[in-house]
Amino acid sequence: MQEEDANRPARVVLISIPDKSEIRQKNLFNVDTCDMYWHPQGHYLAVQVQKKSKTGKSTTTNFEFFRMNEPGIPLEMMDLPNKSSAAVVSFEPRGSRLAIVHGGGAGARPDVSLFNMAGGKGGSVGAGAVSQVTLITSLKGKAVSHIFWSPMGKNVVLAGLGSSGNGQLEFFNAEELQTMNFAEHFMCSSVSWDPSGRFVASSVLSLGGKNQMDNGVTIWSFSGREIYRVPRDCLHQFQWRPRPPTLLSNKEEKKIMKELRTFSKKYEEEDKTLLMQASDEVMRRRKALQDKFAAWHDSKKDWLAQARDFIQRKYPHLLVEGKHTVQEVSREEIISMEEVTV
Protein backbone atom coordinates (compact mmCIF):
# COMPACT_ATOMS: atom_id res chain seq x y z
CA MET A 1 0.00 0.00 0.00
CA GLN A 2 1.45 3.34 -1.07
CA GLU A 3 0.20 6.40 0.80
CA GLU A 4 -1.34 9.39 -0.95
CA ASP A 5 0.45 12.76 -1.06
CA ALA A 6 0.08 16.02 -2.93
CA ASN A 7 1.77 14.71 -6.10
CA ARG A 8 0.48 11.18 -6.40
CA PRO A 9 -2.57 9.11 -5.42
CA ALA A 10 -2.59 6.23 -2.99
CA ARG A 11 -1.95 2.85 -4.59
CA VAL A 12 -2.70 -0.74 -3.75
CA VAL A 13 -0.13 -2.94 -5.45
CA LEU A 14 -0.13 -6.73 -5.67
CA ILE A 15 3.34 -8.22 -6.01
CA SER A 16 4.23 -11.77 -7.00
CA ILE A 17 6.64 -13.63 -4.73
CA PRO A 18 9.50 -14.54 -5.13
CA ASP A 19 10.14 -12.66 -8.40
CA LYS A 20 8.68 -9.44 -6.87
CA SER A 21 6.93 -8.50 -10.10
CA GLU A 22 3.88 -6.24 -10.01
CA ILE A 23 0.83 -8.19 -11.12
CA ARG A 24 -1.97 -5.71 -10.33
CA GLN A 25 -2.38 -2.19 -8.99
CA LYS A 26 -5.17 0.24 -8.23
CA ASN A 27 -4.97 4.02 -7.73
CA LEU A 28 -7.12 5.48 -4.94
CA PHE A 29 -7.95 9.15 -4.40
CA ASN A 30 -8.95 11.18 -1.35
CA VAL A 31 -8.10 8.24 0.90
CA ASP A 32 -8.41 8.57 4.65
CA THR A 33 -7.68 4.96 5.71
CA CYS A 34 -7.43 1.51 4.10
CA ASP A 35 -7.97 -1.94 5.59
CA MET A 36 -7.24 -5.19 3.76
CA TYR A 37 -8.89 -8.58 4.22
CA TRP A 38 -7.66 -11.75 2.53
CA HIS A 39 -9.82 -14.76 1.83
CA PRO A 40 -8.41 -17.63 3.97
CA GLN A 41 -7.58 -19.60 0.82
CA GLY A 42 -6.30 -16.55 -1.04
CA HIS A 43 -9.13 -16.48 -3.59
CA TYR A 44 -10.04 -12.82 -2.99
CA LEU A 45 -8.60 -9.65 -1.50
CA ALA A 46 -11.00 -7.04 -0.11
CA VAL A 47 -9.71 -3.50 0.38
CA GLN A 48 -11.94 -1.35 2.54
CA VAL A 49 -11.37 2.29 1.61
CA GLN A 50 -12.46 5.24 3.74
CA LYS A 51 -12.57 8.31 1.51
CA LYS A 52 -12.66 11.92 2.65
CA SER A 53 -15.29 14.25 1.27
CA LYS A 54 -14.27 17.39 -0.59
CA THR A 55 -14.78 19.44 2.55
CA GLY A 56 -12.82 16.93 4.62
CA LYS A 57 -15.53 16.87 7.30
CA SER A 58 -16.96 13.43 6.54
CA THR A 59 -15.95 10.08 5.06
CA THR A 60 -17.57 7.47 2.83
CA THR A 61 -16.77 3.76 2.64
CA ASN A 62 -16.44 1.47 -0.34
CA PHE A 63 -14.73 -1.81 -1.15
CA GLU A 64 -12.30 -2.78 -3.89
CA PHE A 65 -12.27 -6.52 -4.58
CA PHE A 66 -9.38 -8.32 -6.31
CA ARG A 67 -10.27 -11.70 -7.80
CA MET A 68 -6.99 -13.58 -7.53
CA ASN A 69 -7.99 -16.75 -9.41
CA GLU A 70 -9.48 -15.10 -12.48
CA PRO A 71 -7.44 -14.13 -15.57
CA GLY A 72 -5.94 -10.65 -15.25
CA ILE A 73 -7.07 -10.37 -11.59
CA PRO A 74 -10.19 -8.28 -12.34
CA LEU A 75 -11.24 -5.53 -9.94
CA GLU A 76 -14.70 -4.69 -8.70
CA MET A 77 -15.92 -1.79 -6.56
CA MET A 78 -18.85 -2.04 -4.17
CA ASP A 79 -20.66 0.33 -1.83
CA LEU A 80 -22.37 -0.95 1.30
CA PRO A 81 -26.16 -0.62 1.65
CA ASN A 82 -27.18 2.88 2.77
CA LYS A 83 -23.57 4.06 2.30
CA SER A 84 -22.79 2.82 5.81
CA SER A 85 -19.34 2.05 7.18
CA ALA A 86 -18.11 -1.46 7.94
CA ALA A 87 -17.15 -2.59 11.44
CA VAL A 88 -16.38 -6.28 10.76
CA VAL A 89 -15.45 -7.99 7.48
CA SER A 90 -15.14 -11.78 7.32
CA PHE A 91 -14.78 -14.20 4.38
CA GLU A 92 -16.23 -17.69 4.44
CA PRO A 93 -13.16 -19.95 4.87
CA ARG A 94 -14.17 -22.51 2.26
CA GLY A 95 -16.59 -20.77 -0.02
CA SER A 96 -17.35 -17.55 -1.83
CA ARG A 97 -19.50 -15.76 0.74
CA LEU A 98 -18.58 -12.60 2.61
CA ALA A 99 -20.17 -11.29 5.82
CA ILE A 100 -19.98 -7.61 6.77
CA VAL A 101 -21.24 -5.91 9.92
CA HIS A 102 -22.03 -2.30 9.08
CA GLY A 103 -23.97 0.73 10.26
CA GLY A 104 -25.18 0.90 13.83
CA GLY A 105 -24.25 4.50 14.57
CA ALA A 106 -25.83 6.71 17.24
CA GLY A 107 -26.72 3.83 19.56
CA ALA A 108 -28.54 1.78 16.91
CA ARG A 109 -27.74 -1.88 16.37
CA PRO A 110 -25.76 -2.69 13.22
CA ASP A 111 -26.87 -4.76 10.24
CA VAL A 112 -25.20 -7.94 8.97
CA SER A 113 -25.07 -8.30 5.18
CA LEU A 114 -24.10 -11.47 3.36
CA PHE A 115 -22.59 -11.22 -0.13
CA ASN A 116 -21.54 -13.83 -2.65
CA MET A 117 -18.34 -13.18 -4.56
CA ALA A 118 -19.37 -15.66 -7.26
CA GLY A 119 -22.64 -13.99 -8.20
CA GLY A 120 -25.67 -15.61 -6.63
CA LYS A 121 -26.73 -17.76 -3.72
CA GLY A 122 -25.27 -20.96 -5.15
CA GLY A 123 -21.85 -19.46 -5.65
CA SER A 124 -21.58 -20.22 -9.35
CA VAL A 125 -21.92 -18.40 -12.66
CA GLY A 126 -22.78 -19.64 -16.09
CA ALA A 127 -20.37 -20.22 -18.94
CA GLY A 128 -18.93 -16.97 -20.19
CA ALA A 129 -20.55 -14.96 -17.41
CA VAL A 130 -18.60 -12.52 -15.28
CA SER A 131 -18.47 -13.08 -11.52
CA GLN A 132 -19.76 -10.21 -9.45
CA VAL A 133 -20.41 -9.44 -5.82
CA THR A 134 -24.08 -10.11 -5.13
CA LEU A 135 -26.02 -9.17 -2.01
CA ILE A 136 -27.64 -12.34 -0.63
CA THR A 137 -29.45 -10.93 2.39
CA SER A 138 -29.26 -8.29 5.11
CA LEU A 139 -30.09 -9.06 8.74
CA LYS A 140 -31.35 -5.89 10.36
CA GLY A 141 -30.60 -4.65 13.88
CA LYS A 142 -28.34 -7.38 15.24
CA ALA A 143 -26.39 -7.25 18.51
CA VAL A 144 -23.25 -8.40 16.70
CA SER A 145 -19.64 -7.42 17.27
CA HIS A 146 -17.84 -10.48 15.86
CA ILE A 147 -18.39 -13.01 13.06
CA PHE A 148 -17.17 -16.60 13.39
CA TRP A 149 -17.39 -18.78 10.28
CA SER A 150 -17.26 -22.56 10.50
CA PRO A 151 -13.96 -23.92 9.11
CA MET A 152 -16.09 -25.90 6.66
CA GLY A 153 -18.09 -22.83 5.65
CA LYS A 154 -21.89 -22.66 5.35
CA ASN A 155 -22.56 -22.07 9.08
CA VAL A 156 -21.67 -18.92 10.98
CA VAL A 157 -22.01 -17.65 14.54
CA LEU A 158 -23.01 -14.00 14.87
CA ALA A 159 -21.73 -13.06 18.31
CA GLY A 160 -22.24 -10.00 20.46
CA LEU A 161 -19.21 -9.96 22.75
CA GLY A 162 -18.46 -7.36 25.36
CA SER A 163 -20.85 -4.46 25.94
CA SER A 164 -22.34 -4.68 22.42
CA GLY A 165 -24.16 -7.96 23.05
CA ASN A 166 -23.01 -9.36 26.40
CA GLY A 167 -22.78 -12.91 25.11
CA GLN A 168 -25.60 -13.09 22.55
CA LEU A 169 -25.01 -15.91 20.03
CA GLU A 170 -26.96 -16.47 16.82
CA PHE A 171 -26.31 -19.67 14.88
CA PHE A 172 -27.02 -18.91 11.22
CA ASN A 173 -27.09 -21.16 8.16
CA ALA A 174 -25.80 -19.12 5.22
CA GLU A 175 -26.86 -21.79 2.73
CA GLU A 176 -30.53 -21.89 3.75
CA LEU A 177 -30.53 -18.27 4.99
CA GLN A 178 -32.18 -19.15 8.28
CA THR A 179 -31.34 -18.83 11.95
CA MET A 180 -30.95 -22.26 13.52
CA ASN A 181 -30.92 -21.09 17.12
CA PHE A 182 -30.39 -18.18 19.51
CA ALA A 183 -28.32 -18.68 22.65
CA GLU A 184 -26.59 -16.68 25.34
CA HIS A 185 -23.33 -17.13 27.21
CA PHE A 186 -23.21 -14.27 29.68
CA MET A 187 -19.92 -12.34 29.66
CA CYS A 188 -18.60 -14.50 26.80
CA SER A 189 -15.21 -13.25 25.63
CA SER A 190 -14.18 -15.87 23.05
CA VAL A 191 -15.82 -18.11 20.44
CA SER A 192 -13.99 -20.83 18.51
CA TRP A 193 -15.01 -23.59 16.10
CA ASP A 194 -13.50 -27.04 16.24
CA PRO A 195 -11.58 -28.00 13.06
CA SER A 196 -14.36 -30.30 11.84
CA GLY A 197 -17.01 -27.55 11.94
CA ARG A 198 -19.31 -29.74 14.05
CA PHE A 199 -18.93 -27.99 17.39
CA VAL A 200 -18.49 -24.46 18.75
CA ALA A 201 -16.95 -23.42 22.06
CA SER A 202 -17.85 -20.17 23.80
CA SER A 203 -15.73 -19.26 26.79
CA VAL A 204 -15.33 -16.64 29.47
CA LEU A 205 -11.63 -16.05 30.00
CA SER A 206 -9.86 -14.44 32.92
CA LEU A 207 -8.25 -11.57 31.06
CA GLY A 208 -5.95 -9.39 33.12
CA GLY A 209 -6.99 -11.14 36.33
CA LYS A 210 -10.64 -10.01 35.99
CA ASN A 211 -13.79 -12.13 36.27
CA GLN A 212 -11.89 -15.00 37.85
CA MET A 213 -14.98 -16.55 39.43
CA ASP A 214 -17.30 -16.65 36.39
CA ASN A 215 -15.00 -18.33 33.89
CA GLY A 216 -15.86 -21.47 31.96
CA VAL A 217 -16.48 -23.11 28.61
CA THR A 218 -19.72 -24.11 26.91
CA ILE A 219 -19.69 -26.53 23.98
CA TRP A 220 -22.47 -26.14 21.38
CA SER A 221 -23.42 -28.13 18.33
CA PHE A 222 -23.09 -26.33 14.98
CA SER A 223 -26.83 -25.63 15.15
CA GLY A 224 -26.70 -24.04 18.62
CA ARG A 225 -27.74 -26.93 20.88
CA GLU A 226 -25.91 -26.84 24.21
CA ILE A 227 -23.94 -30.06 24.70
CA TYR A 228 -21.57 -29.49 27.60
CA ARG A 229 -20.87 -26.76 30.13
CA VAL A 230 -17.95 -26.71 32.54
CA PRO A 231 -16.96 -23.87 34.93
CA ARG A 232 -13.27 -23.20 35.48
CA ASP A 233 -11.94 -20.55 37.83
CA CYS A 234 -9.14 -18.40 36.41
CA LEU A 235 -9.51 -19.83 32.89
CA HIS A 236 -6.94 -18.10 30.68
CA GLN A 237 -7.11 -20.01 27.38
CA PHE A 238 -9.17 -22.55 25.47
CA GLN A 239 -8.04 -24.26 22.26
CA TRP A 240 -9.22 -27.17 20.14
CA ARG A 241 -6.80 -29.94 19.25
CA PRO A 242 -5.64 -29.49 15.63
CA ARG A 243 -7.04 -31.83 13.03
CA PRO A 244 -4.84 -33.51 10.40
CA PRO A 245 -5.33 -32.10 6.90
CA THR A 246 -7.60 -34.03 4.58
CA LEU A 247 -6.07 -36.36 2.02
CA LEU A 248 -8.61 -35.29 -0.60
CA SER A 249 -7.95 -32.57 -3.13
CA ASN A 250 -10.25 -29.55 -3.44
CA LYS A 251 -11.68 -31.05 -6.62
CA GLU A 252 -12.49 -34.32 -4.85
CA GLU A 253 -14.08 -32.52 -1.90
CA LYS A 254 -16.26 -30.44 -4.22
CA LYS A 255 -17.31 -33.61 -6.05
CA ILE A 256 -18.30 -35.24 -2.75
CA MET A 257 -20.29 -32.19 -1.66
CA LYS A 258 -22.00 -32.07 -5.05
CA GLU A 259 -22.95 -35.76 -4.88
CA LEU A 260 -23.70 -35.75 -1.14
CA ARG A 261 -27.42 -36.33 -1.61
CA THR A 262 -26.75 -39.31 -3.86
CA PHE A 263 -24.40 -40.77 -1.27
CA SER A 264 -26.86 -40.01 1.53
CA LYS A 265 -29.67 -41.82 -0.31
CA LYS A 266 -27.39 -44.81 -0.87
CA TYR A 267 -26.38 -45.01 2.78
CA GLU A 268 -29.97 -44.50 3.94
CA GLU A 269 -31.02 -47.50 1.84
CA GLU A 270 -28.16 -49.52 3.31
CA ASP A 271 -29.20 -48.51 6.83
CA LYS A 272 -32.80 -49.47 6.08
CA THR A 273 -31.66 -52.88 4.82
CA LEU A 274 -29.60 -53.42 7.96
CA LEU A 275 -32.58 -52.46 10.14
CA MET A 276 -34.80 -54.90 8.26
CA GLN A 277 -32.20 -57.63 8.69
CA ALA A 278 -31.99 -56.86 12.39
CA SER A 279 -35.80 -56.91 12.61
CA ASP A 280 -35.91 -60.27 10.83
CA GLU A 281 -33.31 -61.62 13.23
CA VAL A 282 -35.40 -60.50 16.21
CA MET A 283 -38.50 -62.15 14.73
CA ARG A 284 -36.57 -65.40 14.15
CA ARG A 285 -35.39 -65.43 17.75
CA ARG A 286 -38.92 -64.81 19.02
CA LYS A 287 -40.30 -67.58 16.78
CA ALA A 288 -37.63 -69.98 18.04
CA LEU A 289 -38.53 -69.20 21.67
CA GLN A 290 -42.24 -69.61 20.91
CA ASP A 291 -41.64 -72.98 19.23
CA LYS A 292 -39.46 -74.08 22.14
CA PHE A 293 -42.23 -73.21 24.62
CA ALA A 294 -44.87 -74.96 22.48
CA ALA A 295 -42.71 -78.10 22.34
CA TRP A 296 -42.23 -78.00 26.13
CA HIS A 297 -45.98 -77.50 26.61
CA ASP A 298 -46.79 -80.48 24.39
CA SER A 299 -44.28 -82.64 26.25
CA LYS A 300 -46.19 -82.02 29.52
CA LYS A 301 -49.66 -83.00 28.22
CA ASP A 302 -49.28 -86.69 29.19
CA TRP A 303 -48.04 -85.77 32.64
CA LEU A 304 -51.01 -83.38 33.08
CA ALA A 305 -53.49 -86.09 32.06
CA GLN A 306 -51.95 -88.56 34.52
CA ALA A 307 -52.01 -85.99 37.31
CA ARG A 308 -55.68 -85.24 36.62
CA ASP A 309 -56.58 -88.94 36.69
CA PHE A 310 -54.72 -89.38 39.96
CA ILE A 311 -56.54 -86.44 41.57
CA GLN A 312 -59.87 -87.71 40.20
CA ARG A 313 -59.33 -91.07 41.87
CA LYS A 314 -57.82 -89.94 45.18
CA TYR A 315 -59.42 -86.54 45.74
CA PRO A 316 -62.52 -86.29 43.53
CA HIS A 317 -64.05 -83.51 45.68
CA LEU A 318 -61.25 -81.15 44.64
CA LEU A 319 -62.40 -81.25 41.03
CA VAL A 320 -66.08 -80.57 41.75
CA GLU A 321 -66.84 -76.99 40.91
CA GLY A 322 -70.20 -76.90 42.67
CA LYS A 323 -73.23 -74.80 41.81
CA HIS A 324 -72.60 -71.26 40.61
CA THR A 325 -74.20 -68.53 38.54
CA VAL A 326 -72.78 -65.85 36.28
CA GLN A 327 -74.38 -62.42 36.43
CA GLU A 328 -73.53 -59.46 34.21
CA VAL A 329 -73.82 -56.03 35.83
CA SER A 330 -73.59 -52.70 34.00
CA ARG A 331 -73.54 -49.21 35.46
CA GLU A 332 -73.33 -45.65 34.22
CA GLU A 333 -70.79 -43.20 35.57
CA ILE A 334 -70.60 -39.48 34.79
CA ILE A 335 -66.98 -38.50 34.21
CA SER A 336 -67.48 -34.76 33.74
CA MET A 337 -70.28 -32.28 33.05
CA GLU A 338 -70.03 -28.89 31.39
CA GLU A 339 -72.74 -26.28 30.80
CA VAL A 340 -72.39 -24.09 27.73
CA THR A 341 -74.60 -21.05 27.08
CA VAL A 342 -75.50 -20.73 23.40
Say if residue 81's pLDDT is above 80. Answer: no
pLDDT value at residue 120: 57
**Where does the pLDDT of residue 54 fall: very low under 50, low under 70, confident under 90, or very high at 90 and above?**
confident
**Where does the pLDDT of residue 162 fall: very low under 50, low under 70, confident under 90, or very high at 90 and above?**
confident
Give residue-wise pLDDT tens across range 280-317.
888 889 999 999 999 999 999 888 888 888 888 888 77
Percent helix, strand, coil in the chain, to 5, is 20, 35, 45
The gap from C-alpha 15 to its chain's centroid, in whole angstroms, comes to 37
Q: Which of 2, 93, 97, 99 is nearest to 42 (CA)?
A: 93
Segment (H or E) for 33: strand 31-38
pLDDT value at residue 253: 81
pLDDT value at residue 124: 43
Q: For the residues 4-28, what does the mean pLDDT come to?
A: 85
Q: For the residues 250-263, what does the mean pLDDT come to?
A: 83
Give residue-wise pLDDT tens across range 84-110.
788 899 999 988 999 999 987 767 889
Of 150-154, 201-205, 209-213, 265-269, minimum mean pLDDT range: 209-213
Interatomic CA distance for residues 2 and 29, integer angstroms: 12
Say if residue 255's pLDDT is above 80. Answer: yes
The gap from C-alpha 299 to its chain's centroid, in whole angstroms, comes to 63
Say yes or no: domain 10-244 is CATH 2.60.40.60. no
**So where are the chain's domains?**
10-244, 266-319
Q: For the residues 259-263, what does the mean pLDDT come to?
A: 82
Q: Kindly list the distances between the CA atom of residue 54 and the CA atoms of 31, 48, 58, 63, 81, in Å, as whole numbers in the listed order.
A: 11, 19, 9, 19, 22
Of 7-16, 126-135, 142-151, minimum mean pLDDT range: 126-135
